[in-house]
Amino acid sequence: MKKQKIAFFDTKPYDREFFEKINERYGFEISFFSPRLKTETAPLAAGYETVCVFVNDTVTPKIIDRLYEGGTRLLALRSAGYNNVDLKYAYNKLRVVRVPAYSPFAVAEHAVALMLTLNRKTHRAFIRTRENNFSINGLMGFDMHQKTAGIVGTGRIGKIAIEILRGFGMNIVAFDPYPDNEFAKKHDIKYVDIDKLFRQSDIISLHSPLTPDNVHMINSSSIAKMKDGVMIINTGRGKLINTKDLINGIKSKKIGSAGLDVYEEETDYFFEDFSADAISDDVLARLTTFPNVLITSHQAFFTKEALTNIAETTLENIRLAYEESRFPNEICYRCT
Ligand code: NAI
């Protein structure tokens, strides 16, 4: 059988390391390109049946046309999310496959890492002790034991976050349009409406997908309902939070702390090094000035296990498509 050729965009060193290792089993011919997939870089894919992209490669109609003209027929997303692809336009031109789940543990554990850091201020202690400042003034936290965590979205990731936090002895209230009552009973948690969750939670952690009805669910009016000093954690999607309202809540001290792995305008910045540049996004720049705001650059997924799963599922998706004409992880305009 002829070797499949894959054009791999937005390659980072870690992508290459994990895909090359798993590809020893498949033997595909992978060309790793550093640039993101854009109109200008799409010609690099000419002659490649498969194109592999990540979350910040925006696959527009123009790009789909270029890829199709160059002979591409399969778009393999190495991500779960697919809001970056125009599925309607891709229909009947490119088949699109993805990695539906790679490590819910990675994301849930990262959310808890953000909580612990913000609560016990270890990010500040690290800097202090390196400067021989051994004062603990201002570093006081709270026992998470017996406090209430509000979990928004109890899918794969939300459920693992709940299990971890139950281990700390936290009370859990949860909101999900499709509650899992058996899970609730087993873990002794309570499903409540979203307003009650806002009112009762000491820590609110977002684990739902972004849908048209929950854009900016954290905004000035929902923040007003929350407990004073609430901690907000977002490893879901940036647009779940109205960032300007969040900043106002932090400035007024209504919000005690915020841990953000995602940001609504992250596409221009996250995954790239701007340490020698001025940041032109004033909202992001303001966020980085608060000692009680911790930003990570969409790294919640970033574990060895998740990268292994991403590489395995992506290459298996490609093998199944070409060797067996099967598309178990397909997403398309008509089937979603
Ligand atoms: P999942 O599909 O297993 O669970 C999502 C849950 O959210 C479902 O139970 C669903 O009923 C619920 N839901 C849907 N709309 C809701 C709403 N308006 N309010 C509350 N709950 C709602 O998804 P999974 O694997 O748990 O992932 C959750 C989200 O985490 C993803 O959609 C993605 O946005 C984000 N994510 C972030 C990563 C990161 O690196 N920061 C990596 C992977 C996922």
Task: Indicate the domain borders of the chain.
Answer: 5-102+303-335, 104-295
Residue 210 alpha carbon to ligand 1 centre in Å? 8
> What pLDDT score was predicted for residue 328?
97
> What pLDDT score was predicted for residue 334?
78
110 lines ligand 1 (CB under 6 A): no
Question: Which residue among 176, 310, 336 is best mutated to probe the pocket of ligand 1, counting the most ligand atoms within 8 A of its Cβ?
Answer: 176
Q: What does each C-alpha distance from 293 to 77, 130, 204, 219 come to in angstroms?
A: 31, 21, 14, 17
| CA–CA distance, 96 with 319 (Å, rounded to integer) | 14
Give Cβ neighbours of residue 41 (< 8 Å, ≥ 6 apart).
9, 33, 35
Check: CB of residue 215 under 8 Å from CB of residue 240: yes
155 lines ligand 1 (CB under 6 A): yes
Residue 100 alpha carbon to ligand 1 centre in Å? 11
> What pLDDT score was predicted for residue 81?
82
Residue 69 alpha carbon to ligand 1 centre in Å? 35
For residue 95, give both structure tokens: 């088949």
> What pLDDT score was predicted for residue 267?
82
The tens-digit pLDDT sequence of the chain (336 residues) is 668 999 999 999 999 999 999 999 999 999 999 999 999 999 999 999 999 999 889 999 999 999 999 999 999 999 988 888 999 999 999 999 999 999 999 999 999 999 999 999 999 999 999 999 999 999 999 999 999 999 999 999 999 999 999 999 999 999 999 999 999 999 999 999 999 999 999 999 999 988 889 999 999 999 999 999 999 999 999 999 999 999 999 999 999 999 999 999 888 899 889 999 999 999 999 999 999 999 999 999 999 999 999 999 999 999 999 999 999 999 988 775
Question: Which residue among 102, 110, 156, 157 is best mutated to probe the pocket of ligand 1, counting the most ligand atoms within 8 A of its Cβ?
Answer: 157
Residue 34 alpha carbon to ligand 1 centre in Å? 29
Name the residue type at position 306.
A
For 301-329, what is each residue's pLDDT tens digit? 999 999 999 999 999 999 999 999 999 99
Given the CA of residue 159, which atom of ligand 1 is nearest to it?
A: 26
> What pLDDT score was predicted for residue 266?
86
Name the CATH architecture for the domain at 104-295.
Answer: 3-Layer(aba) Sandwich (3.40)
Residue 157 alpha carbon to ligand 1 centre in Å? 7
CA-nearest residue, atom 36 of ligand 1: 236
> What pLDDT score was predicted for residue 336?
53
Question: 């954290």: which residue's tokens?
Answer: 218
**pTM of the predicted structure, to 2 decimals:** 0.93
> What pLDDT score was predicted for residue 10?
96
Instruction: Tell me if 5-102+303-335 shares its fold with 104-295.
Output: yes
158 lines ligand 1 (CB under 6 A): yes
Eight-class DSSP state of 298? S
Nearest to 189 by CA among 210, 178, 173: 173
157 lines ligand 1 (CB under 6 A): yes
Element (H, E) at 77: strand 74-77
> What pLDDT score was predicted for residue 83?
80
Q: Which CATH number fits domain 5-102+303-335: 3.40.50.720, 1.10.1270.20, 3.90.660.10, 3.30.70.2750?
A: 3.40.50.720
Q: Provide the annotated active-site residues.
A: 237, 266, 298
